[in-house]
């Protein structure tokens, strides 16, 4: 091989080597830049994932706390209603035991007179339960004002005690039953029980 051919080959090899090294260097630099860019993007993605996870955890925490508070509130309501019902059951027992006594007769007498006074009608019908019919009939018979026609309904009510009074045409009715009186004081008893439960 002639020396000029060798020189030409060396020159080509040298240029090729130089070009190849330049390309390798550029490719390496591009790869490093891409890697750096990827690291930055990955860091940003990582931070976004962490932030999103924190928000989800906070939302979940709020939901759990909210559900716990709601559950506690519901349990408290169940306990309060149970206590209120127990108070009324005991009150009913006491009232039932008083029915044969003078106090109950006086209460019925007052209910009849108050109902007559409030209705202001010439004809009034009184309703009561079967057990109280005899007592109410006696109270009506003993009424001093004979100008008002007060009669006792033959159809008994299914109630604990007390009376219902209405005008003859049923346009006005007064509920003077023991149940209606107890329902009126239920909110007060409920409030007292809540205060006791909360230690207020």
114 and 166 housed in the same domain: yes
52 and 103 housed in the same domain: no
pLDDT confidence of residue 97 = 73
In angstroms, rounded to a whole number, what is the distance separating the alpha carbons of residues 109 and 106?
Answer: 5
The percentage of residues in the chain with a pLDDT greater than 90, rounded to a whole number, is 24
In a domain, 24, yes or no: yes
* Nearest partner of 66 among 78, 54, 58, judged by Cα: 58
> 9-55: per-residue pLDDT in tens?
666 556 665 666 666 667 567 666 766 666 666 667 667 767 776 77
103 and 182 housed in the same domain: yes
119 and 56 housed in the same domain: no
104 and 66 housed in the same domain: no
Helix (H, G, I), strand (E, B) or coil at 126: strand
> 80-127: per-residue pLDDT in tens?
778 777 877 777 777 767 656 778 888 899 999 999 989 988 999 999
In a domain, 93, yes or no: no
In a domain, 199, yes or no: no
Residues 6+ apart with CB under 8 A from 119: 165, 166, 167, 172, 174
Decide which of 71, 91, 117 is a domain's last residue: 71
Q: Provide the pLDDT confidence category of residue 8 given band limits of 50, 70 and 90.
A: low
Helix (H, G, I), strand (E, B) or coil at 84: helix
Instruction: Find out whether 104 and 98 touch, Cβ atoms under 8 Å.
Output: yes
66 and 107 housed in the same domain: no
pLDDT confidence of residue 73 = 76
pLDDT confidence of residue 86 = 80
In a domain, 154, yes or no: yes
Across the chain, mean pLDDT equals 78
Per the model's pLDDT, the better-predicted residue between 141 and 85 turns out to be 141
Q: In which order are the strands placed within the sheet that holds 149-152?
A: 149-152, 123-127, 162-167, 173-177
Whichever domain contains 169, its CATH number is 3.30.2320.30
The percentage of residues in the chain with a pLDDT greater than 70, rounded to a whole number, is 74
183 and 105 housed in the same domain: yes
Q: Provide the pLDDT confidence category of residue 156 given band limits of 50, 70 and 90.
A: very high
∠ Cα 173 177 183 (to 5°): 105
Average pLDDT over residues 47-68: 74
pLDDT confidence of residue 172 = 92
Q: Reply yes or no on whether the pLDDT at 167 is more than 90.
A: yes
In a domain, 128, yes or no: yes
Per the model's pLDDT, the better-predicted residue between 126 and 69 turns out to be 126
Domain that holds residue 53: 1-71
pLDDT confidence of residue 94 = 74
Q: How many domains does the chain have?
A: 2
In angstroms, rounded to a whole number, what is the distance separating the alpha carbons of residues 185 and 172?
Answer: 23
Q: Reply yes or no on whether the pLDDT at 175 is more than 90.
A: yes
Average pLDDT over residues 176-193: 82
Per the model's pLDDT, the better-predicted residue between 182 and 114 turns out to be 114
* Nearest partner of 81 among 161, 186, 200, 185, judged by Cα: 186
């Amino acid at each position: 091989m002639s020396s000029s051919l060798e020189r030409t080959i060396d020159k080509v090899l040298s240029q090729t080597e130089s070009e190849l090294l330049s390309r390798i260097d550029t490719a390496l630099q591009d790869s490093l830049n891409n890697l750096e860019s990827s690291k930055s993007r990955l860091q940003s993605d990582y931070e976004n994932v962490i932030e999103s996870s924190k928000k989800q955890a906070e939302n979940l925490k709020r939901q759990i706390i909210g559900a716990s508070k709601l559950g506690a509130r519901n349990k408290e309501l169940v306990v309060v209603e149970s206590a209120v019902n127990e108070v009324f059951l005991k009150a009913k027992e006491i009232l039932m035991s008083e029915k044969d006594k003078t106090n109950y007769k006086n209460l019925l007498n007052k209910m009849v007179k108050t109902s007559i006074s409030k209705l202001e009608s010439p004809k009034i019908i009184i309703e009561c339960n079967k057990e109280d019919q005899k007592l109410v009939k006696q109270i009506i018979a003993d009424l001093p004002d004979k100008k008002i026609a007060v009669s006792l309904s033959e159809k008994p009510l299914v109630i604990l005690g007390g009376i219902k009074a209405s005008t003859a045409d049923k346009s006005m009715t007064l509920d003077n039953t023991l149940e209606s009186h107890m329902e009126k004081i239920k909110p007060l008893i409920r409030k007292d029980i809540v205060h006791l439960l909360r230690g207020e």
